[in-house]
Amino acid sequence: MFDYLRARFAHRLAPASLEPSGSGLPHRFRGRLVVPQPQADVATEGSTPAGEAASEHRRRNLPIIDLGRSVFAPEETQRLEGQDAAFTQDYRMATRSRSALLTSDGEIELAQALDRKMRRLLGRSLRFRLVAAGSCGGCEAELAALSNVVFDMARFGIQFVASPRHADGIVIAGAISVNMREALEKTYEAVPDPRIVVAVGACAISGGVFAGSEAVLGGVPPSIPVDLWVPGCPPHPLTVLDGLLRLLGRLEDSSNTAAAATGDDTLVPLR
Protein backbone atom coordinates (compact mmCIF):
# COMPACT_ATOMS: atom_id res chain seq x y z
CA MET A 1 0.00 0.00 0.00
CA PHE A 2 2.84 2.40 0.78
CA ASP A 3 4.45 1.58 -2.53
CA TYR A 4 1.15 2.43 -4.08
CA LEU A 5 0.83 5.74 -2.23
CA ARG A 6 4.37 6.70 -3.10
CA ALA A 7 3.71 6.02 -6.75
CA ARG A 8 0.32 7.72 -6.53
CA PHE A 9 1.77 11.01 -5.40
CA ALA A 10 4.91 10.86 -7.45
CA HIS A 11 3.21 12.51 -10.40
CA ARG A 12 2.55 16.19 -10.87
CA LEU A 13 -0.58 17.96 -11.88
CA ALA A 14 -0.71 19.76 -15.16
CA PRO A 15 0.45 23.32 -14.44
CA ALA A 16 -2.21 25.49 -12.85
CA SER A 17 -0.68 28.59 -14.34
CA LEU A 18 -0.76 27.64 -17.95
CA GLU A 19 2.30 28.59 -19.91
CA PRO A 20 1.66 30.32 -23.24
CA SER A 21 3.30 27.60 -25.25
CA GLY A 22 5.09 24.42 -24.56
CA SER A 23 3.89 23.00 -21.23
CA GLY A 24 6.02 19.99 -21.94
CA LEU A 25 4.09 19.14 -25.08
CA PRO A 26 6.16 17.01 -27.41
CA HIS A 27 7.99 18.44 -30.38
CA ARG A 28 5.53 16.97 -32.89
CA PHE A 29 2.40 18.31 -31.18
CA ARG A 30 0.24 20.18 -33.68
CA GLY A 31 -1.15 23.33 -32.10
CA ARG A 32 -2.33 26.58 -33.67
CA LEU A 33 -1.70 26.76 -37.39
CA VAL A 34 0.19 29.83 -38.66
CA VAL A 35 1.54 31.17 -41.89
CA PRO A 36 5.08 32.19 -40.94
CA GLN A 37 5.74 35.90 -41.28
CA PRO A 38 7.62 36.76 -44.46
CA GLN A 39 11.30 37.50 -44.19
CA ALA A 40 12.27 41.17 -44.18
CA ASP A 41 13.32 40.76 -47.77
CA VAL A 42 9.99 41.61 -49.39
CA ALA A 43 11.41 41.59 -52.88
CA THR A 44 12.14 37.87 -52.66
CA GLU A 45 8.65 37.04 -51.52
CA GLY A 46 6.99 39.01 -54.25
CA SER A 47 8.99 37.25 -56.89
CA THR A 48 7.06 33.98 -56.71
CA PRO A 49 3.40 33.74 -57.64
CA ALA A 50 2.60 31.87 -54.43
CA GLY A 51 4.36 34.43 -52.29
CA GLU A 52 2.54 37.14 -54.21
CA ALA A 53 -0.84 35.59 -53.45
CA ALA A 54 -0.03 35.14 -49.78
CA SER A 55 1.25 38.65 -49.30
CA GLU A 56 -1.79 39.98 -51.16
CA HIS A 57 -3.97 38.07 -48.72
CA ARG A 58 -2.06 39.44 -45.80
CA ARG A 59 -2.25 42.99 -47.13
CA ARG A 60 -6.00 42.80 -47.54
CA ASN A 61 -6.31 40.79 -44.33
CA LEU A 62 -8.31 38.00 -45.99
CA PRO A 63 -8.65 34.84 -43.97
CA ILE A 64 -6.60 31.96 -45.28
CA ILE A 65 -6.72 29.85 -42.15
CA ASP A 66 -9.96 28.72 -40.54
CA LEU A 67 -9.05 27.11 -37.24
CA GLY A 68 -12.70 26.08 -36.91
CA ARG A 69 -12.46 23.84 -39.95
CA SER A 70 -8.96 22.55 -39.34
CA VAL A 71 -8.63 18.99 -38.08
CA PHE A 72 -4.92 19.63 -37.51
CA ALA A 73 -3.89 16.91 -39.92
CA PRO A 74 -0.20 17.06 -40.89
CA GLU A 75 -1.12 17.63 -44.56
CA GLU A 76 -2.86 20.90 -43.77
CA THR A 77 0.42 22.79 -43.84
CA GLN A 78 0.54 22.49 -47.63
CA ARG A 79 -2.76 23.81 -48.74
CA LEU A 80 -2.99 27.48 -47.94
CA GLU A 81 -3.06 29.67 -51.03
CA GLY A 82 0.12 28.13 -52.27
CA GLN A 83 2.09 29.12 -49.21
CA ASP A 84 3.23 26.61 -46.65
CA ALA A 85 1.78 27.00 -43.20
CA ALA A 86 3.17 25.48 -40.04
CA PHE A 87 1.89 24.15 -36.76
CA THR A 88 3.05 25.84 -33.58
CA GLN A 89 3.10 24.20 -30.18
CA ASP A 90 0.69 26.80 -28.87
CA TYR A 91 -2.38 24.94 -27.65
CA ARG A 92 -4.34 28.14 -26.85
CA MET A 93 -7.00 28.58 -29.49
CA ALA A 94 -10.42 29.08 -27.91
CA THR A 95 -12.36 32.18 -29.01
CA ARG A 96 -15.62 33.92 -28.19
CA SER A 97 -16.84 34.19 -31.78
CA ARG A 98 -16.83 31.96 -34.83
CA SER A 99 -15.30 34.72 -36.95
CA ALA A 100 -12.36 35.06 -34.57
CA LEU A 101 -11.18 31.62 -35.75
CA LEU A 102 -10.68 32.98 -39.26
CA THR A 103 -7.24 34.46 -39.64
CA SER A 104 -4.90 35.54 -42.38
CA ASP A 105 -1.68 34.56 -40.65
CA GLY A 106 -2.65 32.46 -37.63
CA GLU A 107 -2.89 35.24 -35.08
CA ILE A 108 -6.23 35.15 -33.30
CA GLU A 109 -7.93 36.98 -30.49
CA LEU A 110 -8.31 34.50 -27.67
CA ALA A 111 -11.52 34.33 -25.66
CA GLN A 112 -12.42 37.38 -23.57
CA ALA A 113 -13.98 36.90 -20.17
CA LEU A 114 -17.73 36.89 -19.63
CA ASP A 115 -19.25 40.09 -18.29
CA ARG A 116 -19.10 40.88 -14.57
CA LYS A 117 -22.58 39.65 -13.81
CA MET A 118 -22.03 36.26 -15.41
CA ARG A 119 -18.62 35.96 -13.78
CA ARG A 120 -20.17 36.69 -10.40
CA LEU A 121 -22.75 33.99 -11.02
CA LEU A 122 -20.53 31.31 -12.54
CA GLY A 123 -16.93 32.32 -11.86
CA ARG A 124 -16.34 30.06 -8.87
CA SER A 125 -18.64 27.19 -9.72
CA LEU A 126 -19.48 26.20 -13.26
CA ARG A 127 -21.41 23.01 -14.05
CA PHE A 128 -21.80 21.57 -17.53
CA ARG A 129 -23.92 18.93 -19.15
CA LEU A 130 -22.16 17.28 -22.09
CA VAL A 131 -24.13 16.58 -25.26
CA ALA A 132 -22.42 14.42 -27.87
CA ALA A 133 -24.31 14.65 -31.14
CA GLY A 134 -22.83 12.98 -34.17
CA SER A 135 -19.30 12.81 -32.80
CA CYS A 136 -16.69 10.08 -33.08
CA GLY A 137 -16.15 9.88 -29.33
CA GLY A 138 -12.76 11.59 -29.44
CA CYS A 139 -13.87 14.91 -27.94
CA GLU A 140 -15.78 13.08 -25.19
CA ALA A 141 -12.63 11.18 -24.32
CA GLU A 142 -10.66 14.41 -23.95
CA LEU A 143 -13.46 16.05 -21.95
CA ALA A 144 -13.53 13.02 -19.66
CA ALA A 145 -9.76 13.34 -19.29
CA LEU A 146 -10.29 16.85 -17.88
CA SER A 147 -11.71 15.21 -14.76
CA ASN A 148 -8.74 12.91 -14.18
CA VAL A 149 -6.01 13.54 -11.64
CA VAL A 150 -3.68 15.16 -14.17
CA PHE A 151 -5.90 17.94 -15.50
CA ASP A 152 -8.28 17.92 -12.53
CA MET A 153 -10.64 20.58 -13.81
CA ALA A 154 -12.62 20.42 -10.57
CA ARG A 155 -9.84 22.33 -8.80
CA PHE A 156 -11.08 25.39 -10.70
CA GLY A 157 -14.69 24.75 -9.71
CA ILE A 158 -15.65 23.42 -13.14
CA GLN A 159 -17.45 20.07 -13.33
CA PHE A 160 -19.63 17.93 -15.53
CA VAL A 161 -22.99 16.98 -14.01
CA ALA A 162 -25.57 14.34 -14.83
CA SER A 163 -28.61 16.46 -15.56
CA PRO A 164 -29.04 19.63 -17.64
CA ARG A 165 -31.29 20.92 -14.85
CA HIS A 166 -28.31 20.95 -12.51
CA ALA A 167 -26.10 22.64 -15.09
CA ASP A 168 -25.09 26.20 -15.91
CA GLY A 169 -24.49 25.34 -19.52
CA ILE A 170 -23.85 22.66 -22.08
CA VAL A 171 -20.73 21.49 -23.86
CA ILE A 172 -21.48 20.27 -27.38
CA ALA A 173 -19.31 17.81 -29.31
CA GLY A 174 -19.99 16.38 -32.74
CA ALA A 175 -21.26 17.49 -36.13
CA ILE A 176 -24.88 17.42 -34.84
CA SER A 177 -26.41 14.35 -36.42
CA VAL A 178 -29.96 14.69 -37.68
CA ASN A 179 -30.89 11.97 -35.18
CA MET A 180 -29.61 13.99 -32.20
CA ARG A 181 -30.96 17.39 -33.14
CA GLU A 182 -34.13 17.12 -31.08
CA ALA A 183 -32.33 15.72 -28.03
CA LEU A 184 -29.77 18.54 -28.25
CA GLU A 185 -32.45 21.22 -28.41
CA LYS A 186 -34.37 19.68 -25.51
CA THR A 187 -31.22 19.46 -23.41
CA TYR A 188 -30.42 23.09 -24.16
CA GLU A 189 -33.95 24.15 -23.21
CA ALA A 190 -33.70 22.19 -19.96
CA VAL A 191 -30.74 24.25 -18.72
CA PRO A 192 -31.98 27.18 -16.64
CA ASP A 193 -31.13 30.73 -17.73
CA PRO A 194 -28.59 32.27 -17.76
CA ARG A 195 -26.72 29.51 -19.53
CA ILE A 196 -23.60 29.24 -21.56
CA VAL A 197 -22.78 27.01 -24.51
CA VAL A 198 -19.35 25.67 -25.43
CA ALA A 199 -18.73 24.11 -28.85
CA VAL A 200 -15.82 21.68 -28.64
CA GLY A 201 -13.98 20.33 -31.67
CA ALA A 202 -13.94 20.88 -35.42
CA CYS A 203 -17.20 18.92 -35.86
CA ALA A 204 -19.25 21.10 -33.50
CA ILE A 205 -17.80 24.25 -35.05
CA SER A 206 -17.98 23.46 -38.76
CA GLY A 207 -18.90 19.81 -39.25
CA GLY A 208 -15.22 18.85 -39.35
CA VAL A 209 -14.51 15.86 -41.57
CA PHE A 210 -18.25 15.12 -41.72
CA ALA A 211 -19.18 18.48 -43.27
CA GLY A 212 -21.33 17.91 -46.32
CA SER A 213 -22.82 14.60 -45.18
CA GLU A 214 -26.60 14.51 -45.34
CA ALA A 215 -26.76 12.83 -41.96
CA VAL A 216 -25.38 15.84 -40.08
CA LEU A 217 -26.24 19.53 -39.74
CA GLY A 218 -22.55 20.42 -39.93
CA GLY A 219 -22.08 22.13 -36.59
CA VAL A 220 -24.10 23.72 -33.82
CA PRO A 221 -27.29 25.18 -35.37
CA PRO A 222 -27.82 28.97 -35.18
CA SER A 223 -30.76 28.42 -32.80
CA ILE A 224 -28.23 27.66 -30.06
CA PRO A 225 -25.95 30.66 -29.42
CA VAL A 226 -22.38 29.60 -28.65
CA ASP A 227 -20.27 31.43 -26.05
CA LEU A 228 -16.97 29.64 -26.51
CA TRP A 229 -15.52 27.94 -29.59
CA VAL A 230 -12.74 25.42 -28.97
CA PRO A 231 -11.01 24.19 -32.14
CA GLY A 232 -9.16 20.88 -32.43
CA CYS A 233 -9.70 17.31 -33.55
CA PRO A 234 -10.01 16.54 -30.75
CA PRO A 235 -8.79 19.59 -28.79
CA HIS A 236 -6.06 18.85 -26.26
CA PRO A 237 -7.53 18.98 -22.73
CA LEU A 238 -5.34 22.03 -22.08
CA THR A 239 -6.98 23.84 -25.02
CA VAL A 240 -10.41 23.31 -23.46
CA LEU A 241 -9.22 24.22 -19.98
CA ASP A 242 -7.48 27.36 -21.24
CA GLY A 243 -10.65 28.45 -23.03
CA LEU A 244 -12.87 27.88 -19.99
CA LEU A 245 -10.49 29.71 -17.66
CA ARG A 246 -10.32 32.67 -20.06
CA LEU A 247 -14.11 32.69 -20.25
CA LEU A 248 -14.27 32.92 -16.47
CA GLY A 249 -11.54 35.56 -16.30
CA ARG A 250 -9.45 33.20 -14.21
CA LEU A 251 -6.18 33.48 -16.10
CA GLU A 252 -3.68 36.02 -14.84
CA ASP A 253 -2.07 36.21 -18.22
CA SER A 254 -3.90 39.21 -19.59
CA SER A 255 -2.65 38.97 -23.16
CA ASN A 256 -5.53 37.85 -25.27
CA THR A 257 -3.68 37.72 -28.53
CA ALA A 258 -1.97 34.52 -29.41
CA ALA A 259 1.26 35.90 -30.72
CA ALA A 260 2.65 34.28 -33.80
CA ALA A 261 5.47 31.93 -33.05
CA THR A 262 8.55 33.93 -32.21
CA GLY A 263 11.36 31.54 -32.88
CA ASP A 264 11.94 28.69 -35.26
CA ASP A 265 12.20 26.22 -32.41
CA THR A 266 8.49 26.49 -31.68
CA LEU A 267 7.58 25.44 -35.19
CA VAL A 268 6.98 21.80 -35.81
CA PRO A 269 9.00 20.82 -38.86
CA LEU A 270 6.95 20.21 -41.96
CA ARG A 271 6.65 16.61 -42.91
Partner 1 sequence: MSTRALLTVYNRRCVSVADIPLLEMEDFASTIASSVGAGWRIVSLFGVAEDTRALRLCAVLANDDSGLLGATCALVAQEYPALSTSCRQAGRFEREIAEQCGAIPKGHPSLKPLRRHPPDHAPSAWTVRPKDREDFPFDVVHGDEVHEVAVGPVHAGIIEPGHFRFHAHGEEVLSLEIMLGYQHRGVERLLECSERGRAVLVAESIAGDTVIGHASAFCGAIEALARSHKTPRGQTIRGIALELERLANHIGDLAALSGDVAFQPSAAFFGRLRGECLNLLMTISGNRYGRGLIRPGGVLFDIPPTMASEVMRRVERLRDEVRLIAQLLFENASVLSRFDGVGVVSAEQCRANGYVGVVARSCRVPRDVRHDFAYGVYRYAQIPVATAWSGDVYARAIVRWLEVQRSMEFILEQLSALPRGEVRVDCGALTPSELVVALEEGWRGEIAHIVMTDAAGHILRHKVVDPSFHNWSAVSAAMPGNQISDFPLCNKSFNLSYAGHDL
Residues that bind partner 1 (CB under 8 A): 1, 3-4, 7-8, 11, 25-26, 28-30, 71-75, 87, 129-145, 147-150, 160, 162-164, 174-175, 177-180, 183, 187, 208-210, 212-216, 233-234, 236, 268, 271
Smallest distance from partner 1 to CB 176, Å? 10
Nearer to partner 1, 197 or 233 (CB): 233
Smallest distance from partner 1 to CB 76, Å? 9
Q: Smallest Cα–Cα separation from 150: which of 4, 245, 15?
A: 15
- Residues 48 and 225: their CA atoms lie apart, in Å, by 43
Smallest distance from partner 1 to CB 51, Å? 24
Burial of 114: CB neighbours in 10 Å, binned 0-12, 13-18, 19+: buried
Nearer to partner 1, 132 or 241 (CB): 132
Nearer to partner 1, 114 or 210 (CB): 210
Smallest distance from partner 1 to CB 251, Å? 23
Beta strands 169-173 and 196-200: pairing type?
parallel
Q: How far is CA 239 from CA 23, 192, 242, 258, in A?
A: 12, 27, 5, 13
Nearer to partner 1, 42 or 150 (CB): 150
Are 157 and 125 contacting, i.e. CB atoms less than 8 angstroms apart?
A: yes
Nearer to partner 1, 73 or 259 (CB): 73
Smallest distance from partner 1 to CB 190, Å? 9
Q: Smallest Cα–Cα separation from 246: which of 126, 139, 130?
A: 126
- Residues 224 and 43: their CA atoms lie apart, in Å, by 48
